[in-house]
Structure 1
Amino acid sequence: MPYRVMTVCTGNICRSPMAEVVLRERFAAAGLADEVVVDSSGISDEEDGNPVDRRAASVLREHGYEVPRHRAHRVTPEEIASRDLLLAMTARHARWLRTQAPDAAAAGRVRVYRSFDPAAPATAGPGALADESALDIDDPWYGDRSDFETTLEQVEAAADAVVAHVREQLARR
Protein backbone atom coordinates (compact mmCIF):
# COMPACT_ATOMS: atom_id res chain seq x y z
CA MET A 1 0.00 0.00 0.00
CA PRO A 2 1.55 3.33 -0.99
CA TYR A 3 1.99 6.23 1.40
CA ARG A 4 -0.61 8.86 0.43
CA VAL A 5 0.06 12.61 0.58
CA MET A 6 -2.52 15.26 -0.27
CA THR A 7 -1.86 18.98 -0.64
CA VAL A 8 -4.84 21.24 0.09
CA CYS A 9 -5.64 24.88 -0.66
CA THR A 10 -8.87 26.80 -1.30
CA GLY A 11 -9.94 26.08 -4.88
CA ASN A 12 -7.34 23.49 -5.93
CA ILE A 13 -6.12 25.46 -8.95
CA CYS A 14 -2.99 27.31 -7.72
CA ARG A 15 -1.14 26.43 -4.51
CA SER A 16 -2.10 22.80 -3.93
CA PRO A 17 -1.54 21.65 -7.52
CA MET A 18 1.80 23.49 -7.55
CA ALA A 19 2.80 21.64 -4.38
CA GLU A 20 1.52 18.36 -5.84
CA VAL A 21 3.70 18.76 -8.95
CA VAL A 22 6.81 19.70 -6.96
CA LEU A 23 6.38 16.89 -4.45
CA ARG A 24 5.81 14.27 -7.14
CA GLU A 25 9.07 15.28 -8.76
CA ARG A 26 10.97 15.29 -5.46
CA PHE A 27 9.62 11.87 -4.49
CA ALA A 28 10.60 10.53 -7.91
CA ALA A 29 14.10 12.01 -7.57
CA ALA A 30 14.38 10.36 -4.15
CA GLY A 31 13.49 6.98 -5.66
CA LEU A 32 10.12 6.91 -3.90
CA ALA A 33 7.76 7.33 -6.85
CA ASP A 34 6.50 3.75 -6.48
CA GLU A 35 5.99 4.08 -2.73
CA VAL A 36 4.34 7.51 -2.47
CA VAL A 37 1.20 8.84 -4.17
CA VAL A 38 0.64 12.61 -4.18
CA ASP A 39 -2.60 14.33 -5.07
CA SER A 40 -4.32 17.62 -4.26
CA SER A 41 -7.69 19.12 -3.47
CA GLY A 42 -9.39 22.23 -2.16
CA ILE A 43 -11.66 23.05 0.75
CA SER A 44 -14.11 24.78 -1.62
CA ASP A 45 -15.97 23.52 -4.66
CA GLU A 46 -15.93 26.94 -6.38
CA GLU A 47 -13.33 25.78 -8.94
CA ASP A 48 -14.64 22.23 -9.28
CA GLY A 49 -13.54 20.70 -12.58
CA ASN A 50 -11.20 23.54 -13.56
CA PRO A 51 -7.59 22.96 -14.65
CA VAL A 52 -4.50 24.37 -12.95
CA ASP A 53 -4.51 28.18 -13.18
CA ARG A 54 -2.67 29.17 -16.37
CA ARG A 55 -0.27 31.42 -14.43
CA ALA A 56 0.61 28.62 -12.01
CA ALA A 57 1.12 26.22 -14.92
CA SER A 58 3.33 28.74 -16.73
CA VAL A 59 5.56 29.30 -13.70
CA LEU A 60 5.87 25.56 -13.11
CA ARG A 61 6.83 24.89 -16.74
CA GLU A 62 9.36 27.72 -16.76
CA HIS A 63 11.02 26.08 -13.76
CA GLY A 64 11.23 22.71 -15.51
CA TYR A 65 8.18 20.96 -14.11
CA GLU A 66 5.71 18.96 -16.15
CA VAL A 67 2.15 20.03 -15.49
CA PRO A 68 -0.20 17.06 -15.69
CA ARG A 69 -3.84 17.18 -16.62
CA HIS A 70 -5.74 18.35 -13.56
CA ARG A 71 -9.36 18.80 -12.52
CA ALA A 72 -9.94 20.73 -9.33
CA HIS A 73 -12.13 19.15 -6.69
CA ARG A 74 -13.17 19.59 -3.08
CA VAL A 75 -11.66 17.21 -0.57
CA THR A 76 -14.01 14.61 0.86
CA PRO A 77 -14.11 13.15 4.37
CA GLU A 78 -13.15 9.80 2.82
CA GLU A 79 -10.04 11.35 1.29
CA ILE A 80 -9.10 12.94 4.60
CA ALA A 81 -9.44 9.55 6.29
CA SER A 82 -7.41 7.72 3.64
CA ARG A 83 -4.38 10.03 3.45
CA ASP A 84 -1.27 9.46 5.52
CA LEU A 85 -0.32 13.14 5.38
CA LEU A 86 -2.47 16.16 4.54
CA LEU A 87 -0.48 19.31 3.78
CA ALA A 88 -2.55 22.48 4.14
CA MET A 89 -1.39 25.65 2.44
CA THR A 90 -2.68 27.85 5.28
CA ALA A 91 -3.66 27.57 8.94
CA ARG A 92 -7.29 28.13 7.90
CA HIS A 93 -7.12 25.15 5.53
CA ALA A 94 -5.56 23.05 8.31
CA ARG A 95 -8.31 24.02 10.78
CA TRP A 96 -11.00 23.17 8.23
CA LEU A 97 -9.41 19.79 7.46
CA ARG A 98 -9.17 18.97 11.16
CA THR A 99 -12.87 19.79 11.68
CA GLN A 100 -13.84 17.61 8.72
CA ALA A 101 -11.64 14.68 9.75
CA PRO A 102 -13.68 11.64 10.72
CA ASP A 103 -11.56 10.97 13.81
CA ALA A 104 -8.66 12.25 15.89
CA ALA A 105 -6.15 10.07 14.05
CA ALA A 106 -7.03 11.64 10.70
CA ALA A 107 -7.00 15.14 12.23
CA GLY A 108 -3.52 14.40 13.58
CA ARG A 109 -2.23 13.78 10.05
CA VAL A 110 -2.91 17.41 9.04
CA ARG A 111 0.10 19.73 8.87
CA VAL A 112 0.63 23.20 7.49
CA TYR A 113 2.89 22.72 4.44
CA ARG A 114 5.43 25.37 5.40
CA SER A 115 5.94 23.78 8.81
CA PHE A 116 8.45 21.64 6.91
CA ASP A 117 10.40 24.67 5.63
CA PRO A 118 13.54 24.95 7.77
CA ALA A 119 13.64 28.73 7.16
CA ALA A 120 9.97 29.32 8.07
CA PRO A 121 8.94 30.74 11.46
CA ALA A 122 8.87 28.08 14.18
CA THR A 123 5.46 27.12 15.56
CA ALA A 124 6.55 24.43 18.01
CA GLY A 125 9.00 24.31 20.87
CA PRO A 126 10.35 26.96 23.25
CA GLY A 127 9.90 30.52 22.03
CA ALA A 128 7.80 29.38 19.08
CA LEU A 129 4.93 31.20 17.48
CA ALA A 130 1.57 29.97 18.74
CA ASP A 131 -0.22 30.82 15.52
CA GLU A 132 0.18 28.54 12.51
CA SER A 133 -0.95 31.40 10.23
CA ALA A 134 2.65 32.67 10.26
CA LEU A 135 3.26 29.74 7.90
CA ASP A 136 0.54 30.60 5.40
CA ILE A 137 1.34 30.51 1.71
CA ASP A 138 -0.58 33.51 0.40
CA ASP A 139 -3.04 32.92 -2.42
CA PRO A 140 -1.30 34.05 -5.62
CA TRP A 141 -4.57 34.10 -7.58
CA TYR A 142 -5.19 37.72 -6.56
CA GLY A 143 -1.69 38.87 -7.48
CA ASP A 144 0.62 38.96 -10.45
CA ARG A 145 3.28 36.64 -11.81
CA SER A 146 5.67 37.45 -8.97
CA ASP A 147 3.13 36.06 -6.50
CA PHE A 148 3.15 32.72 -8.33
CA GLU A 149 6.96 32.76 -8.29
CA THR A 150 6.86 33.35 -4.52
CA THR A 151 4.41 30.48 -4.08
CA LEU A 152 6.71 28.16 -6.01
CA GLU A 153 9.71 29.27 -3.92
CA GLN A 154 7.81 28.55 -0.70
CA VAL A 155 6.65 25.17 -1.96
CA GLU A 156 10.14 24.20 -3.07
CA ALA A 157 11.70 25.38 0.21
CA ALA A 158 9.70 22.82 2.21
CA ALA A 159 9.65 19.96 -0.32
CA ASP A 160 12.88 18.20 0.67
CA ALA A 161 11.87 18.15 4.33
CA VAL A 162 8.48 16.69 3.36
CA VAL A 163 10.32 13.94 1.46
CA ALA A 164 12.59 13.29 4.45
CA HIS A 165 9.57 13.11 6.78
CA VAL A 166 7.78 10.65 4.51
CA ARG A 167 10.95 8.55 4.15
CA GLU A 168 11.07 8.30 7.98
CA GLN A 169 7.41 7.32 8.08
CA LEU A 170 7.96 4.64 5.47
CA ALA A 171 10.88 3.23 7.47
CA ARG A 172 8.55 2.82 10.47
CA ARG A 173 5.99 0.77 8.56
Structure 2
Amino acid sequence: MTSPFRLMTVCTGNICRSPMAEVVLKARLAEAGLADAVEVTSTGVSDEERGNPIDRRAAAVLREAGYTVPRRAARRVTAADLGSVDLALAMTEGHARRLRALTDRPVVRLYREFDPAAPALVDGREHDLDIDDPWYGGIEDFRTTLAQVEAGADGVVAAVREALALR
Protein backbone atom coordinates (compact mmCIF):
# COMPACT_ATOMS: atom_id res chain seq x y z
CA MET A 1 0.00 0.00 0.00
CA THR A 2 1.31 3.46 -0.81
CA SER A 3 1.60 6.14 1.81
CA PRO A 4 -1.21 8.69 1.98
CA PHE A 5 -1.04 11.97 0.11
CA ARG A 6 -0.13 14.52 2.77
CA LEU A 7 -1.78 17.91 2.56
CA MET A 8 -1.26 20.74 5.05
CA THR A 9 -3.06 24.08 5.33
CA VAL A 10 -1.16 26.99 6.87
CA CYS A 11 -2.16 30.37 8.31
CA THR A 12 -0.72 32.62 11.01
CA GLY A 13 -1.59 31.12 14.40
CA ASN A 14 -3.39 27.93 13.34
CA ILE A 15 -6.64 28.80 15.10
CA CYS A 16 -8.82 30.35 12.35
CA ARG A 17 -8.15 29.98 8.62
CA SER A 18 -5.98 26.87 8.41
CA PRO A 19 -8.09 24.73 10.76
CA MET A 20 -11.22 25.91 8.91
CA ALA A 21 -9.61 24.76 5.66
CA GLU A 22 -8.54 21.48 7.29
CA VAL A 23 -12.12 20.75 8.39
CA VAL A 24 -13.63 21.66 5.01
CA LEU A 25 -11.04 19.68 3.03
CA LYS A 26 -11.46 16.58 5.19
CA ALA A 27 -15.20 16.71 4.58
CA ARG A 28 -14.86 17.26 0.82
CA LEU A 29 -12.22 14.54 0.48
CA ALA A 30 -14.47 12.13 2.37
CA GLU A 31 -17.38 13.02 0.05
CA ALA A 32 -15.07 12.29 -2.90
CA GLY A 33 -14.13 8.89 -1.47
CA LEU A 34 -10.54 9.96 -0.81
CA ALA A 35 -10.50 10.10 2.99
CA ASP A 36 -8.31 6.99 3.30
CA ALA A 37 -5.87 8.18 0.64
CA VAL A 38 -5.26 11.70 1.98
CA GLU A 39 -4.01 12.96 5.32
CA VAL A 40 -4.97 16.58 6.05
CA THR A 41 -3.35 18.64 8.81
CA SER A 42 -2.98 22.32 9.58
CA THR A 43 -0.31 24.52 11.13
CA GLY A 44 0.62 28.17 11.57
CA VAL A 45 3.74 30.17 10.77
CA SER A 46 3.67 31.67 14.28
CA ASP A 47 4.02 29.99 17.65
CA GLU A 48 1.88 32.56 19.50
CA GLU A 49 -1.23 30.37 19.67
CA ARG A 50 0.54 27.06 20.36
CA GLY A 51 -1.74 24.63 22.16
CA ASN A 52 -4.88 26.74 21.75
CA PRO A 53 -8.07 25.26 20.28
CA ILE A 54 -9.75 26.50 17.14
CA ASP A 55 -11.13 30.02 17.60
CA ARG A 56 -14.66 29.86 19.02
CA ARG A 57 -16.00 32.01 16.18
CA ALA A 58 -14.41 29.77 13.54
CA ALA A 59 -15.87 26.72 15.28
CA ALA A 60 -19.32 28.34 15.44
CA VAL A 61 -19.32 29.18 11.73
CA LEU A 62 -18.16 25.69 10.80
CA ARG A 63 -20.87 24.08 12.94
CA GLU A 64 -23.46 26.48 11.52
CA ALA A 65 -22.49 25.22 8.04
CA GLY A 66 -22.86 21.58 9.11
CA TYR A 67 -19.23 20.62 9.71
CA THR A 68 -17.98 18.57 12.64
CA VAL A 69 -15.31 20.51 14.54
CA PRO A 70 -12.67 18.28 16.11
CA ARG A 71 -10.72 18.98 19.27
CA ARG A 72 -7.27 20.12 18.25
CA ALA A 73 -4.35 22.21 19.38
CA ALA A 74 -2.62 24.90 17.35
CA ARG A 75 0.98 24.30 16.38
CA ARG A 76 3.73 25.94 14.38
CA VAL A 77 4.93 24.57 11.06
CA THR A 78 8.45 23.14 10.91
CA ALA A 79 10.89 22.41 8.11
CA ALA A 80 10.35 18.71 8.88
CA ASP A 81 6.61 19.16 8.25
CA LEU A 82 7.35 20.62 4.84
CA GLY A 83 9.77 17.79 4.15
CA SER A 84 7.00 15.25 4.52
CA VAL A 85 4.01 16.90 2.84
CA ASP A 86 2.98 16.60 -0.77
CA LEU A 87 1.17 19.94 -0.77
CA ALA A 88 1.24 22.89 1.63
CA LEU A 89 -1.59 25.35 1.08
CA ALA A 90 -0.81 28.84 2.37
CA MET A 91 -3.68 31.16 3.21
CA THR A 92 -1.74 34.28 2.15
CA GLU A 93 1.27 35.35 0.14
CA GLY A 94 3.06 36.17 3.41
CA HIS A 95 2.47 32.65 4.71
CA ALA A 96 3.73 31.20 1.41
CA ARG A 97 6.88 33.32 1.65
CA ARG A 98 7.55 32.04 5.19
CA LEU A 99 7.01 28.44 4.09
CA ARG A 100 9.29 28.80 1.08
CA ALA A 101 12.02 30.04 3.44
CA LEU A 102 11.78 26.67 5.22
CA THR A 103 11.99 24.43 2.16
CA ASP A 104 13.29 24.33 -1.37
CA ARG A 105 10.73 21.65 -2.30
CA PRO A 106 8.04 22.86 -4.73
CA VAL A 107 5.16 21.95 -2.41
CA VAL A 108 3.94 25.43 -1.41
CA ARG A 109 0.90 26.85 -3.17
CA LEU A 110 -1.72 29.44 -2.30
CA TYR A 111 -5.04 27.94 -1.31
CA ARG A 112 -7.04 30.32 -3.51
CA GLU A 113 -5.11 29.22 -6.60
CA PHE A 114 -7.64 26.38 -6.61
CA ASP A 115 -10.69 28.66 -6.57
CA PRO A 116 -11.90 29.08 -10.17
CA ALA A 117 -13.54 32.41 -9.28
CA ALA A 118 -10.43 33.89 -7.62
CA PRO A 119 -8.59 36.65 -9.45
CA ALA A 120 -5.88 35.54 -11.84
CA LEU A 121 -2.30 36.16 -10.78
CA VAL A 122 -1.03 39.31 -12.45
CA ASP A 123 2.71 39.93 -12.51
CA GLY A 124 3.16 37.28 -9.80
CA ARG A 125 1.19 39.32 -7.25
CA GLU A 126 0.25 36.42 -5.00
CA HIS A 127 -1.23 38.74 -2.35
CA ASP A 128 -4.24 39.16 -4.64
CA LEU A 129 -5.15 35.59 -3.63
CA ASP A 130 -4.96 36.10 0.14
CA ILE A 131 -7.78 34.59 2.17
CA ASP A 132 -9.21 37.25 4.47
CA ASP A 133 -8.06 37.17 8.10
CA PRO A 134 -11.21 37.14 10.24
CA TRP A 135 -9.39 37.43 13.59
CA TYR A 136 -10.08 41.13 14.21
CA GLY A 137 -13.62 41.02 12.86
CA GLY A 138 -16.96 39.61 13.81
CA ILE A 139 -18.90 36.50 12.89
CA GLU A 140 -19.60 37.80 9.36
CA ASP A 141 -15.85 37.96 8.72
CA PHE A 142 -15.59 34.29 9.69
CA ARG A 143 -18.45 33.48 7.31
CA THR A 144 -16.57 35.30 4.53
CA THR A 145 -13.43 33.28 5.29
CA LEU A 146 -15.40 30.04 5.26
CA ALA A 147 -16.93 30.99 1.90
CA GLN A 148 -13.44 31.62 0.47
CA VAL A 149 -12.23 28.27 1.82
CA GLU A 150 -15.24 26.40 0.46
CA ALA A 151 -14.87 28.08 -2.95
CA GLY A 152 -11.42 26.55 -3.40
CA ALA A 153 -12.08 23.17 -1.82
CA ASP A 154 -13.33 21.35 -4.92
CA GLY A 155 -10.31 22.57 -6.87
CA VAL A 156 -8.02 21.23 -4.16
CA VAL A 157 -9.84 17.88 -4.24
CA ALA A 158 -9.47 17.71 -8.03
CA ALA A 159 -5.74 18.49 -7.80
CA VAL A 160 -5.25 15.82 -5.14
CA ARG A 161 -7.18 13.26 -7.22
CA GLU A 162 -4.94 14.07 -10.19
CA ALA A 163 -1.78 13.77 -8.08
CA LEU A 164 -2.94 10.42 -6.70
CA ALA A 165 -3.55 9.14 -10.25
CA LEU A 166 0.06 9.98 -11.13
CA ARG A 167 1.49 7.90 -8.28
Q: What TM-score do the two structures reach when normalised by structure 2? A: 0.97
Aligned letter for 2:161? R
State how far apart, in whole Å, the 2-side matches of 1:75 and 1:130 are: 25
Structure 2 counterpart of 1:137: 131
Q: Which residue of structure 1 aligns with residue 21 of structure 2?
A: 19
The unaligned stretches of length 5 or more in structure 2 are none
Instruction: State the 4+ residue runs in structure 1 displaced beyond 2 angstroms.
Output: none
Which of residues 67, 70, 87 in structure 2 aligns to 1:68? Answer: 70
Structure that is richer in helix per residue: 1
1:43 aligns to 2:45 (yes or no): yes
User: In the alignment, is residue 117 of structure 1 matched against residue 111 of structure 2?
Assistant: no
Q: Deviations for 1:3-48, whole angstroms, at most 9, x for unmatched residues?
A: 0000000000000000000000000000000000000000000000
> What is the CA distance between 1:130 and its match in structure 2?
2.2
Q: Distance between the aligned counterparts of 2:132 and 2:158, measured in 1?
A: 24
Output the amino acid matched with 2:14.
N
Partner SS for 1:141: coil
Indicate whether 1:6 and 2:17 are aligned.
no
3-state DSSP class of the match of 2:135?
A: helix
Matched letter for residue 76 of structure 1: T
2:36 is aligned, of 28, 34, 37, to 34
- Any gaps of 5 or more consecutive residues in structure 1? none
Equivalenced residue count is: 165
> Given residue 88 of structure 1, which amino acid in structure 2 is its aligned partner?
A
Q: Under a length normalisation based on structure 1, what TM-score does the superposition of the two structures give?
A: 0.94
